[in-house]
Structure 1
Amino acid sequence: MLKIKSFNLKRRLPTCYLLSSKVLLSLAVILSVYFIVMDIKLFHHAKTRGPYSGIKSSKNLSKFGLGDIKNKKYSLFWPLPVKKIMMAEATHFIRSPIAEFVEHGLGFSNLFPFISANFISVTHCILSVVTIKFLMHDSLFWRQIGVAIFQFRNFLDSFDGVIFRVHANKTAYTSHYGSLGYYVDAFSDVFGGICLVGSIALYLLKNRPPKKSLTRCFWLADDLVESGSTIEKSALTRSTSSDDLFNNLAVNSNLRNKSPKEGIHATKITILTSVALLGIRIAVSAFFWDKSVRAYQDLLDSPAVSELHQKLQVKILSSTFTLLIMILWRIMNALSLQDMILTAIFLDKTWEFVVKSQLVGWIVLISLIILTELHIAEVRSILLQVI
């Protein structure tokens, strides 16, 4: 009786790939633990932060708020405005410290005073276009290179904010809504997201993933071809009656007669719809994150009109419920979602992430948006009573 060679994943994969997978898994675990520990410290510092700005009528705001920031050493937790509490972990704990070191430690602006924040924004727009060619490549190695380039693009997105504050002689860590730099930065972020999602769509259309229900059939057929067996021989070895033999031959004949991408791979409509929903989720997340940051800044980081108003600002910000909403936005904002996507691309799990994250991602995001809008409305009504 003919023996069919079984599928052995470890036998198929090179040893170096298995070792690199373990290294990547270890790095992922280390980064996750690092982010969790730092978020716990952030939570503690935010609860004891105190007022971020002073009272409007006060002439000396330093005793209420930031004090002399220029004479302070850089700290991850000081100053701690709303925007920093709500930003992505990778930006807060990795990209921003590196950007601050390049500027204040290496003196970037002194060496290159002609490089502006807008110039850096245009540069990472160009890098976004460059990564399309890499991220849609058939080779995993070149896609991983594309991930590295896009991560450098994300670093520049943090670095242009540092350069803007230095050139504008501004110390407050806040979004400068309405300025030219704000719109340039917003456009470059949107453009980068479009390039990332577009490259995913192009890659998946070129390398259409198999349907989940037929993935096992593909692996089995591949093993049969490798062992010199045919699908009909497989049916013979598995059949115990003439009826079973007839049914197996009919099913296998249908599979064999179909084109490689007909009925077996995900359709183009499925791929485009799934990727489009991912892009919409990034856009919705970015819009409501920015909207929430602006609202919380106006309510909790703006100068108070009285001591009672200031005490309420501090009390609301330090409440566990407020901080939980803000920390959830750290996980659900667009940059964090982009980091998850880039990790999936690096691990060659792009389609798995696109499909499996859809339902949970939308449920959590919509729930967080509704919760945030209700909370902001409640905070606004409370503060209006003392103004």
Structure 2
Amino acid sequence: LVPPCPCPSLTAYWSAPPTWPRLVFCDIPGRLLHLLPCCSHLNRLSNAAILLTLGTVLLAYFVVMDIFLISRYRYTSLAEDAGTASAVGEIYSPFTHLSVKAVLSDHPRHYIFTPSTELFNSLTRFTERLPFVSADAVSLTHLFCAFVAGKFVASENLNDRRIGVVIFFFRTWLDSFDGIVFR
């Protein structure tokens, strides 16, 4: 038996995370996999095999991209103008116009999140069509996503924690998009 809290106004009580993300991320995809005959073998694969394959592919991608980055800067003249470093018509390259901060950032941010935000902005022209959306508004949005992700990660349910990780990855994507909107 738990004694009552002596000061309930200063105590944060646990409330369950919202139920709609569980429906979107867990229930609907599971039902769709059972309906599609081409995806029925995915139910038999273990989570460990899927994660091992995904981790191996990501590791190989990061190693190859690092080799390209090193070979690019091995033969680049540091005295050349920064405006001539990119090809004409190039949307984005993780190998041009690098700052020290960009080189020292983690691999997913450098090779996945930032290029995907640049691609999203070039395809949708988000910053041109919605000029009133500032970088601060995007920052507030990813701050809110971080609080929601924290709520899910703190849950005892494994699926809720997984949803929290997905929401936090979206928050990291928004953090990269914040820099694109600012520029």
Instruction: Provide the TM-score with structure 1 as the length reference.
Output: 0.34
| Alignment pair present for 1:147 and 2:165 | yes
Alignment of 1:109-148 (within 5 A): 109-148=127-166
- Measure how far apart 1:84 and its partner are: 2.1
1:49 maps to which residue? 76
1:369 maps to which residue? none
| Alignment pair present for 1:65 and 2:92 | no
**Which of 123, 144, 153 is the equivalent residue of 1:105?**
123
The residue type paired with residue 44 of structure 1 is S
Measured at CA, do residues 119 and 26 of structure 1 come closer, stay the same or move farther in structure 2, by a change above 3 Å? same
Measured at CA, do residues 130 and 106 of structure 1 come closer, stay the same or move farther in structure 2, by a change above 3 Å? same
| Alignment pair present for 1:163 and 2:146 | no
- Measure how far apart 1:111 and its partner are: 2.2
Structure 1 CA distance for aligned equivalents of residues 130 and 51 of structure 2: 36
2:52 maps to which residue? 25
- Measure how far apart 1:82 and its partner are: 2.3
Structure 1 CA distance for aligned equivalents of residues 101 and 137 of structure 2: 23
Moved more, 40-49 or 155-164: 40-49
- Measure how far apart 1:17 and its partner are: 8.0
**Which of 34, 53, 76 is the equivalent residue of 2:61?**
34
1:181 maps to which residue? none
- Measure how far apart 1:71 and its partner are: 5.2
- Measure how far apart 1:40 and its partner are: 1.1
1:89 maps to which residue? 107
Aligned residues: 140
Structure 1 CA distance for aligned equivalents of residues 155 and 44 of structure 2: 19
C-alpha offsets along residues 309-342 of structure 1, whole Å, 9 cap, x if unaligned?
A: xxxxxxxxxxxxxxxxxxxxxxxxxxxxxxxxxx
Measured at CA, do residues 36 and 70 of structure 1 come closer, stay the same or move farther in structure 2, by a change above 3 Å? closer
1:79 maps to which residue? 97
- Measure how far apart 1:23 and its partner are: 1.0
- Measure how far apart 1:70 and its partner are: 9.9
Structure 2 CA distance for aligned equivalents of residues 118 and 17 of structure 1: 45
Q: Contact 1:46/1:80 (CA < 8 Å) preserved in 2? A: no
- What runs of 5+ residues in structure 2 fail to find an aligned partner? 1-41
Measured at CA, do residues 72 and 78 of structure 1 come closer, stay the same or move farther in structure 2, by a change above 3 Å? farther
RMSD: 2.2
Q: Contact 1:117/1:160 (CA < 8 Å) preserved in 2? A: yes
Measured at CA, do residues 90 and 118 of structure 1 come closer, stay the same or move farther in structure 2, by a change above 3 Å? same
The residue type paired with residue 47 of structure 2 is S
Q: Contact 1:121/1:156 (CA < 8 Å) preserved in 2? A: yes
The residue type paired with residue 177 of structure 2 is F
C-alpha offsets along residues 152-206 of structure 1, whole Å, 9 cap, x if unaligned?
A: 00001111111111xxxxxxxxxxxxxxxxxxxxxxxxxxxxxxxxxxxxxxxxx
- Measure how far apart 1:107 and its partner are: 0.6
- Measure how far apart 1:18 and its partner are: 5.8
Structure 2 CA distance for aligned equivalents of residues 81 and 48 of structure 1: 17
Query: For the pair shown, which has the larger CA radius of gyration, 1 or 2?
Result: 1
- What runs of 5+ residues in structure 1 fail to find an aligned partner? 1-14, 55-63, 166-387
Which structure has more relative contact order (CA 8 Å, sep 6+)? It is 1
The ranges of structure 1 where at least 4 consecutive aligned residues each deviate by more than 4 angstroms after the TM superposition are 15-18, 68-72
Q: Contact 1:103/1:109 (CA < 8 Å) preserved in 2? A: yes
